[in-house]
Amino acid sequence: MSPVWQAPLALGLLSIVGLLAALFSDGIGDVVSWVALAIPVAVAVWYTARSR
């Protein structure tokens, strides 16, 4: 796999894990879903702010 696709694939898998955790679990699963879904958002904000 090309190194270009590693980061988007990791962020996509993290998003899937977060969505599934939010859908199927409570308690610690809620924390996992918040963290897993916040990381791709934080990365997008960081890259957007960095490019300005």
The residue that leads in pLDDT, 1 or 47, is 47
Using only C-alpha atoms, what is the Rg of the chain?
Answer: 13
Tell me the average pLDDT across 33-49: 96
Contacts of 43 (CB under 8 A, 6+ apart): 11
What's the whole-model pTM score? 0.84
Q: Evaluate whether 36 touches 10 at the Cβ level (below 8 Å).
A: no
Question: For residue 30, which of 21, 39, 20, 42 has the smallest C-alpha distance?
Answer: 21
Tell me the average pLDDT across 19-23: 96
